[in-house]
Amino acid sequence: MSRYNRRIKLRNDSEQYRTVLEDRGVKGIIQYATPEKVAYEDEVYDSIDYISYTWKYGDMYWRLSTRFFGDPQYWYVIAAFNEKPTESHNKVGDVLKIPTSLADALQVVRE
């Protein structure tokens, strides 16, 4: 399953991009909405066991999800637990929290 299946799509036909759209010969473009940042209380983090992982050059959430959960589709769990919705919010050397129990983490993330 693609990581974008649940993302909201928006049509951008903003006046700001009129020249670009005209140059491309289109009336608008479809873009994905930026996911909203989900912040959890400290008690939520304390209730879920996690390991620390140091972000490295070339890391991607889906790759970490595959490595730690056995499935790339749970990338958003890592993003949510670290309050960083996309990979571009991470810098090399950042320490991420990777939940050790996917089942426990999903209960929190899906609430």
Model confidence at 49, in pLDDT bands (50, 70, 90)?
very high
Contact in structure between 28 and 21 (CB atoms under 8 Å) = yes
Domain ranges of the chain: 1-33, 42-109
Say yes or no to pLDDT of 3 above 70. no
27-38 mean pLDDT: 75
64-74 mean pLDDT: 96
Superfamily of domain 42-109: LysM domain (3.10.350.10)
What pLDDT score was predicted for residue 107? 81
In this structure, the strands spanning 29-32 and 9-12 are antiparallel
pLDDT-above-70 percentage for the chain: 86
CA–CA dist 25, 8 (Å, integer):
24
User: Which one has a higher pLDDT value, 22 or 53?
Assistant: 53
